[in-house]
C-alpha cells in the first residue's frame, strides 16, 4: 500500500494500517473486555456497571447521560 491510501486509520483497531491516511470504515475492534485475539482482558466485567458497584442501576445511567453528546479526545 502507499501513503494516502484508504484503510483502517484508528490505532486502537485490530486491523490498524499505519500507512492509511483516510479511514475507509473497515476498522475492526475487539469485543468489550477482550483483546484482538479473543482473549479475556481479565477482571469481572458487568456491562453497564459504570460506577463499579456490582449492580447496573439508575446511577450508572445518570453517569452515562451526564456525558452524552460530549466530544471524545
pLDDT tens, residue by residue, 3-53: 557 889 888 899 999 888 888 989 999 887 778 998 877 666 677 888 878
Same domain, 8 and 19: yes
In the predicted model, what is the mean pLDDT of residues 51-65?
Answer: 88
**Residues of the domain holding 7:** 1-42
Same domain, 23 and 54: no
Our count of domains for the chain comes to 2
User: How many alpha carbons lie under 13 Å from residue 59 in its C-beta half-sphere?
Assistant: 7
CB 32 within 8 A of CB 44: no
pLDDT tier, 65 (very low <50, low <70, confident <90, very high otherwise): very high
Buried b / exposed e across 5-18, counting CB within 10 Å, b at 16+? eebbbeeebeeebe
Same domain, 37 and 61: no
Q: How far apart are CA 7 and CA 33, in angstroms?
A: 25
Same domain, 47 and 66: yes
Same domain, 49 and 38: no
Report the pLDDT value the prediction gives residue 27, as an integer from 0 to 100.
Answer: 93
- Reply yes or no on whether the pLDDT at 55 is more than 70: yes
Same domain, 34 and 1: yes
pTM to 2 decimal places: 0.50
Same domain, 9 and 38: yes
Amino acid at each position: 500500500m502507499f501513503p494516502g491510501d484508504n484503510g483502517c486509520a484508528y490505532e486502537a483497531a485490530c486491523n490498524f494500517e499505519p500507512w492509511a491516511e483516510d479511514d475507509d470504515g473497515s476498522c475492526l475492534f475487539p469485543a468489550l473486555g477482550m483483546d484482538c485475539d479473543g482473549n479475556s482482558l481479565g477482571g469481572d466485567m458487568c456491562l453497564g456497571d459504570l460506577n463499579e458497584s456490582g449492580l447496573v442501576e439508575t446511577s450508572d445511567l445518570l453517569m452515562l447521560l451526564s456525558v452524552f453528546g460530549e466530544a471524545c479526545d
